[in-house]
Amino acid sequence: MSATTILPVASGRVTVATFWRNLRRCPLLAWASVVTSVAASGAAVVVPILLGRLVDLVVAGGSVDALLATSAWILGAGLMAAVLTGASRWLVTEWGMRACADLREEVLDRALRMDSARLESAGSGDVASRVTGDVEQVADSIRLAAGIFTALVTVVITFAGFATLDWRIALAFLIVFPVHVLSLRRFVPRAKRLYAAEREAAAVRTQSLLTTFTGARTVHAYGMAQRQGQRVDGASRNAVTARLRAVRGFLWFANMMNYAEAIGLTAVLLTGFLLVRAGESSVGDVTAAALLFHRLFGPLGMLLISFNDVQSAGAALARLVGITGLDVPESRARAGDRPAGGIGAKAIGHHYPGGPTVVHDVSVEIAEGESLAVVGESGAGKTTLAAILGGVFPAAEGEVLLGGRPIADLDPAELRRTVGVVTQEVHVFAGTLADDLRLAAPDAAEEQLWEALRLVGADQWVAALPEGLHTRVGEGDHPVTPGQAQQVALARVALLDPPIVVLDEASAEAGSAGARQLELASAALVRGRTAVVVAHRLTQAQSCDRIAVMAHGRIVELGTPEELVAAGGRYAELWAAWQR
Ligand SMILES: Nc1ncnc2c1ncn2[C@@H]1O[C@H](COP(=O)(O)OP(=O)(O)OP(=O)(O)O)[C@@H](O)[C@H]1O
C-alpha cells in the first residue's frame, strides 16, 4: 500500500503561496535581508573591477601612489563584502527559520487534530514521516535557501558589474545560458518525479518499520518475524533504489554544469584576447571580466545545484503544506455547551479499512445516567463498538446520537466536553504529572488535580512521589506502572467531568490487587454519568445498570445483571464460571 496516496500533497502553486504567506509575516527581517544582501554583493563585485583597474595601472606604468590607493580600495571592499555577507546570511537564515517554525506549528496542529479514522486509514507512518523527516528536510533547506538567496542577488549584481566593462565580453559570457537552460529543462521534470518517488519510498519504509515494531507481539506470536523482516527489507531496498536514481539524475546535471562553465570561460578569454589584440579593449577589462565570470561560478553553480535540493525540499514542503490544507472541523461550540443525555446507537455496522465487518447492525439505547457494561469473548467487537459510541472514529454504517444529536454534528471541542474516553492504549506523556493531568483541563487548580486523583484512588502514590504532582513522569523520567498510567487516564477524564464516559477495559492491565483499585476508580467515574464500560472482570459488569453481551460483532443478550442471570443464557454461564 502506498501511504502517500491517502494524505494529500499540496500542488506547487499552493506550496509556494503558503510558504510565501509565512515569509511575509516578518517584513522587517525581509527588508533587512534584502538590503544587506544587495550591499554585500555590491561590495564583492567592486573587487574584480578594481583588480582590472590595477592591471591597467601596472600595464600603463602608473605611479606607486595610484597603485597603493587602488590596492587599499580593493582591501576595503573585500573586508566590507565579507562582513556584509556574514550579516546577510544570518538575517536570511533567521527569516527562513521563523517561516519554517510557523509552518511546523501549523502542521503539528493539523496532524494532532486530524480525525482518527483518517489517521488510521492513512497509516501513522505517513504522518510520522511528514512531521519528522519532512520537517527536518525543510528546516535543513532553510540554510540552503539563505545561500540561494544570496547567490541570486550576487548573480544579478555581477551582471550589473559586467555592464561597466566591454559589452562584447559580456555577450561572450552569455553563451553559458543555452547550455544551462537545456540541461535544466531536461533535469527539472525528471528530478521532480525522482524526489517525489524518493520521499514516497521513505514514507513506505517508515510505515513498514512502525507497523513491525508496534505489532511486535503479534509478529512474535505468529512466527512472522522472517516474513515481516523481508517486508521491511523490500521497503528499505525500494527506498535505497529510489535514492540512487535521484543521485544519478543529479550527477548527470552536475556534469552538464561543468561543461557550460568551461565553454563560457573559453568564450570570455577568447573574445577578450581578440579585443585586446585589435586594441579595442584593455587587458584590465578582460582581467576584470574573467574574474567576474569566475566569481559567478560559485553562486551560479550553487543556484543550479540547489535545484537538486530545492526539488527535494519542495517535495517535502508540498507534503507538509498538504497537511496544513486538511479540513479539520473548527470549534463552533461556546464554552459550557454540553449536550448531556443518553446514547442512542442505531443500526451500527463497522469494518476496518480493507477488513471484514466486525460490528453488525447494533442498536442500543442508553438512558441518561444509565451505565451499560459490554462483555464478550476476545474479538467480539467490544472495543470497536465502544470506540464508535465514544466518537473515537465514526461507524461505517448507522448513526450514534448523543443527547439526541447525531455525533457527527458535534464539533471536536463539544465532543470532548461531552464524552470522556479511556481506551486500552493509555499513555503518560513526558513532563510533570500535573502537566499530564492538565492536558484535560489546562486551567485546573492544584486542588482540583488532587481531587481527581483522590476520586480514582491515585492520591497516595502520587503524594509519595519525590516531588509529588511536580514529579516528571514518562519515558526517561520517573516510571509509572501500567495500572498507575490507567489511573492517570481516569483522573484526566474526571477533570474533564463529561456527562458521558466510555471506559474500555480500564481494569484489564492491572494485577489482581491493582485491578480492584481500578475497578473502584472506574465505578467512581461512572457514578452519576451515562456510561459504557467494556468489562473483562464480571464484578465490574455486575455493578452496571445493564449488560450487553457481544458475540461475533452482535449484541446477543441485553438486560440487567439480574435479568441475564435469571435468563440462564450465555451471561449466566459466564457469571457462574466467574464465581467458581
Ligand atoms: N485497528 C484495527 N484494524 C483492523 N482490524 C481490527 C482493528 N481493531 C480490531 N480489529 C478487528 O476487529 C475485530 C473486533 O475487535 P475488537 O478489538 O473490537 O474486539 P474486542 O471484543 O474488544 O476484543 P478484545 O477483548 O480482545 O479487545 C477483531 O477481529 C479484531 O481483529
Tell me, yes or no, whether 489 lies in a domain. Answer: yes
Name the grid cell of 491.
Answer: 483522573
The answer on pLDDT for 120 being more than 80 is no
Which pLDDT band, with edges at 50, 70 and 90, does 194 fall under?
Answer: confident
Q: How sure is the predictor about 289, in pLDDT bands with cuts at 50, 70 and 90?
A: confident
For residue 181, is pLDDT > 90?
Answer: no
Task: Give the lowest-confidence range in 136-140, 452-456, 492-496, 523-527.
Answer: 136-140
User: Which ligand 1 atom is nearest residue 424's CA?
Assistant: 27
- Domain total of the chain: 2
Residue 408's pLDDT band (cuts 50, 70, 90): confident
**What are the CB-based long-range contacts (under 8 Å, 24+) for 8-13?**
8/322, 8/323, 8/325, 8/326, 9/196, 9/318, 9/319, 9/322, 10/318, 10/319, 10/321, 10/322, 10/324, 10/325, 11/318, 12/314, 12/318
Q: How far is the CA of 384 from the centre of ligand 1 (A)?
A: 6
Q: Assess whether 285 and 138 both reside in one domain.
A: yes
Cα 218 to ligand 1 centroid, rounded to whole Å = 13
State which of 264, 290, 324 marks the end of a domain: 324
Task: Give, for 567, the enclosing helix (H) or strand (E).
Answer: helix 561-567
Q: Do residues 236 and 207 make contact, with C-beta atoms less than 8 angstroms apart? A: no
Rounded to the nearest integer, the mean pLDDT of the chain is: 82
Q: Give residue 366's pLDDT.
A: 94
Q: How far is the CA of 402 from the centre of ligand 1 (A)?
A: 24
**Looking at residue 3, what is its pLDDT?**
38
Q: Using one digit for the tens of pLDDT, what is the confidence trace for 56-78?
A: 899 888 888 889 999 999 999 99
Compute the average pLDDT of residues 420-429. Answer: 79
Please choose from 384, 503, 505 the residue to mutate so as to test ligand 1's pocket, defined by most ligand atoms within 8 A of CB.
384
Taking the C-alpha atoms of residue 487 and residue 499, their distance in angstroms, rounded to an integer, is 19
The answer to the question of residue 349 being in a domain is no
Residues 290 and 411 in one domain: no
Interface ipTM: 0.96
Going by CA atoms, what residue is nearest to atom 8 of ligand 1? 384
Residues 143 and 283 in one domain: yes
pLDDT at 334 over 50: no
Nearest ligand 1 atom to alpha carbon 384? 18
Are residues 115 and 18 located together in one domain of the fold?
A: yes
Residue nearest to atom 30 of ligand 1 (CA): 379
Query: Does position 53 have pLDDT exceeding 60, yes or no?
Result: yes
Is the pLDDT confidence value at 292 over 90?
no
CATH code at position 40: 1.20.1560.10
Residue 180 and residue 312 in one domain: yes
Q: How far is the CA of 215 from the centre of ligand 1 (A)?
A: 14
Q: Whose Cα sits closest to atom 1 in ligand 1?
A: 352
Dist. CA 173 → ligand 1 center (Å): 69
Most informative mutation of 1, 211, 358, 424 for ligand 1 (most atoms within 8 A of CB): 358
Domain boundary among 263, 297, 324: 324
Q: Cα angle vertex 488, ends 486, 490, to 5°?
A: 70
Q: Is 270 found in the same domain as 412? A: no
Same domain, 66 and 188: yes
Q: Say whether both 275 and 383 belong to one domain.
A: no
Tens digits of residue pLDDT in 344-386: 999 999 998 878 999 999 999 999 999 999 999 888 999 999 9
Residue 449 sits in the same domain as residue 519? yes
CA of 423 to the centre of ligand 1 (A): 13
How far does the centroid of ligand 1 lie from the alpha carbon of residue 383, in Å? Answer: 7
CATH number at residue 546: 3.40.50.300
Residue with CA at minimum distance from ligand 1 atom 7: 352
Tell me, yes or no, whether 319 and 449 share the same domain: no
List the grid coordinates of 373. 457494561
The three cell numbers of residue 234 are: 523490500
Residue 330 in any domain: the answer is no
Q: Which residue has the CA at smallest separation from atom 3 of ligand 1?
A: 352
Average pLDDT of 294-307?
Answer: 75
User: Residue 531 domain-assigned?
Assistant: yes
List, chain by chain if needed, residues with CB within 6 Å of any ligand 1 atom: 352, 355, 358, 376, 378-384
Average pLDDT over residues 488-516: 77
Alpha-carbon distance of 114 to 128, in angstroms, equals 13
303 pLDDT higher than 80: no
> Is the model's pLDDT at 314 over the cut of 50?
yes
pLDDT in tens, 85-98: 889 888 888 888 88
Question: Which is higher by pLDDT, 546 or 190?
Answer: 546
Buried residues in 395-416 as b, exposed as e (16+ CB within 10 A): bbbbebbbbeeebeebeebbbb
Distance 382 CA to ligand 1 centre (A): 8
> Domain range holding 541?
368-396+407-579
The percentage of the chain sitting over the pLDDT mark of 90, rounded to a whole number, equals 21
